[in-house]
Amino acid sequence: MTKRDLIDEVNKRFPHLSRRDSEVIINAIFDSMVDALATGDRIEIRGFGSFVVKHRRARQGRNPKSGALVSVAAKKVPFFKVGKELRLRVDGKPYDPTVDGDDE
Are residue 7 and residue 34 in the same domain, yes or no? yes
pLDDT tier at 63 (50, 70, 90 boundaries)? very high
Structural domain range at position 55:
42-84
3-class state of residue 31 by DSSP: helix
Are residue 5 and residue 31 in the same domain, yes or no? yes
Q: Is the dihedral of CA 92, 93, 94, 96 positive or negative?
A: negative
Q: pTM here?
A: 0.75
Q: How far apart are CA 32 and CA 82, in angstroms?
A: 20
3-class state of residue 84 by DSSP: helix
Are residue 26 and residue 52 in the same domain, yes or no? no
Structure confidence at residue 94 (pLDDT): 84
